[in-house]
Amino acid sequence: MKESRQSLLAVICTLAVSLVFCLVFGQMTKPKIAKPAEGALFAAGTYEAESPGYTGASNPIKVKVTVSDNKIENIEYTIDGETPTVGGMAVPALAEKVLAVQSPNIDTVTNATVSSKGFLTAVSDALRQAGADPEALVPQEAETASKDIEKTADIVVAGAGGAGMTAAITAAQNGKKVIILEKGLFPGGNSSYATGGMNAAETHYQAEKGIEDSVELFYEDTMKGGHDINDPELVRTLAENSSAAIDWLDSIDAPLSDVGLAGGASVYRQHRPVNANGDILPVGTFLVEHLSKTCEDLGIEIVYSAKVDEILMDNGKAVGLHATDSDGNNITVHADAVIIATGGFGSNPDLIVKYRPDLKGYVSTNAPTITGDAIAFLEAVGADFRDLEQIQIHPTVVQTDGSLISESLRGDGAILLNKNGVRFTNENGTRDVVSAAVNEQPDRYAWLVTDEKVAVKSEVIKKYVSKGYMIKCDTVADLAKLIGVEEEVIQETLDTWHTACETGEDTEFGRANPDKNKTYVAELPLYAVQISPGIHHCMGGVVINTNAEVIDTKGNVIPGLYAAGEVTGGVHGGNRLGGNAVTDFVVFGRIAGENASANSK
C-alpha cells in the first residue's frame, strides 16, 4: 500500500514538473509582442515568423520583416520548399505588393494560393509581434501612373507556357532576340498542370528498354483516338518529330527517361521524368522549371502580368504585339515575327457554354489564366479556326478544386470502382470513353484505386496523399469502409482483377494485357481517390499548317504569324490522347521557333 502511495506521488510529481516545464518553455518560445511608441503603428525593429507553404510545416516559408514606427520598410524571405516557377515567383511579387500598399491584406496570387497564404500569414505574424493589428492595416493606394512601354525584338511570343518557352528557346538558340509576354505572374500555364508524360515513338529510351514502337503506330493511335477528324498532316508531323523532341529535351537537361503506358496507346510510349531515386515526377512542373531556367540562361526576357490583346499588322504581315499589364501600362513589342502560344479556354465558362452548352457546370482542371484571349485578337487579323466545339473532359478529376488525377496511374495498373465497389470499364480506354463510363455510374462518380507498389515510386501519388486527395487504406476492409460497401464485395472485385493479371486477359472489359509484374492492386496499403469527369483540354483552335504558320479564313498563310500548343486546332481531333499535349507543345513549339527564326531578319 505504501509503495502504491509512493508510486502515485512520484507520478503526480512528474506531471507537476512537466506542467511547469511546459508553461515556462511555452512562455520562452512564444513570440513577444512589442509595444509601439505613442502614436506609432509599430515598434521599430526586425521581426521573424514562419508559416507552412506548399510543402507544409516541414519546410515552412520564413520571413524577416523590418519596420519603422509607421512603415513596413523591408521583407526578407526564405522559400526553399516552394516550387521555383510557382511559389518561388509568387512570393517576391507579393512582398513587393505588401511594401507598396503597406498591408498584408492583399489578394493571393492565382495558381499559387497555398504559397501566397503561407507568406501573407507569416508577414502578419511578424507585424503582430511588432505590436500592430495586421487585420486593421488597410491597403493604401499604390501610386502608379500608367505609361507606354516600347520594346523591340526579332521574335515576340505571347504566352510563357510549354509551347511559348519551347519556341522562344529554339529561336534564341538560333541567335534571335526574343521577348515573351505572359499574362500570369509566373511561367507554365496549363503545362504546369501536366502530371503524366510525353508520348514519343522510336526513342532511344524505348530502345534501351526493349520497347518496339513506330512512328506509323503513333500516328494511327492518335488518329483513332481523335476519331479521325484530326488533320492527318499535323498528326504525322507530331509523330515524326516526337523522338527528336525527346532528344532536344535531353539537350537542355530535361530527360524523360521512364516509359509508361497512357490511355489509347498501343504500346508503352509515355516518357516521364524521374528523380535521383528513380521516383516518377509530375512532367509539367519538371519541364516548366527546366524550360524557364533555359530561358533565363539564354537571356530571354519574359514580361509578366502582360495580357496580350492585339497583334500588330503592317501590310498584312504580323509585326508585333500589344499588351496591358496589371498597372495599366501599355506594352508594345515590335518584332519581325510573332508566335501565339496562349493556350485554350478551359477556364472561361462563357466560351465553354458558347461552344458546348452540355458542359455547363463542369469543374475545370485548367489554370485560371487559360481563358481564350487569343480567339478575339486572332479573329481580328482574319485567322481561321476549327473544332472549337471539341472540348475534352478528363475522367479522373477531384471535384472540390478541379485537381487532375494523372492518367499515368491507370497506365501503371490502377483500377476504377463505382460506388458499389465493382469495376465498370477498361481503365485504359480513351478519355472520352472512360469519362462517359464514369458518368453512367450511380451518382456519376468513381474511385480510382492503386497500391503501395506504385505509390512507393511515385512522387505524383505522394503529392496526392499530402494534399488529402488520395486516401491511404491499410487494409481491404479500410478501402471497403471508405467506399461504403462490404469488404467481401471489394475482395471479390480485387480477386477477379488479380486473375486477369495472372492470365493476362481481362475477360470483363478487355483491358489489354493486364500485367502482374507492373502492379495488380495487391500490395498493401491501398490508395483511393474519389473522382468525376472535368473539363480538361480544348482540341480546337486557330488553324495552322505543318510549319506552324497561322492560316486565314481564305486558306492563305498570314505572313510573320505562327502558333503552337493548345491555342491551335487540328492535332488532336475529337479527343486528345493522354501524353500528346506535351508532345504537341514541344514539337510544334520547336517548329514555330525554327520557322519564325528563318523568316526574321
Q: Which contiguous run of DSSP H or E holds residue 74?
A: strand 72-78
Give 350-369 as a 3 state SS string. HHHHHHCHHHCCCCECCCCC
Q: Are 546 and 237 in contact (CB under 8 A)?
A: yes
Per DSSP bridges, beta strands 337-340 and 557-563 are: parallel
Q: Are 560 and 317 in contact (CB under 8 A)?
A: yes
Q: 452: which 3 cell numbers?
A: 503501395
Residue 301, phi-psi category: left (phi > 0), alpha (psi -120 to 50), beta (remainder): beta
**Longest Cα separation, the chain:** 105
Length of the chain: 601
Pick the closest to residue 196 from 115, 65, 285, 319 (CA basis): 285
Q: Are 540 and 383 in contact (CB under 8 A)?
A: no
Residue carrying C-alpha cell 498591408: 103
128 is catalytic: no
Q: Which residues of 101-126 are buried (b: 16+ CB within 10 A; e: fewer)?
A: bbbbeeebbbbbbbbbbbbbbbbbbb
**Separation between Cα atoms, residue 291 and residue 165, nearest integer Å:** 6
**Separation between Cα atoms, residue 285 and residue 109, nearest integer Å:** 17
Q: 195: which 3 cell numbers?
A: 502530371
Q: Please, which contacts does 484-493 make with residues 24 or more away whose CB atoms are closer than 8 Å? A: 484/419, 485/419, 485/420, 485/421, 486/421, 489/420, 489/421, 489/422, 490/417, 490/421, 493/417, 493/421, 493/422, 493/423
**Separation between Cα atoms, residue 344 and residue 378, nearest integer Å:** 13
End-to-end, the C-alpha distance of the chain in Å comes to 100
Extended strands (E) in 279-399: 301-303, 306-314, 317-325, 330-334, 337-340, 385-386, 391-397
**Bridge partner list, 67:** 45, 72
Catalytic pick among 431, 511, 576, 590: 431
Instruction: Please identify every residue annotated as catalytic.
Output: 431
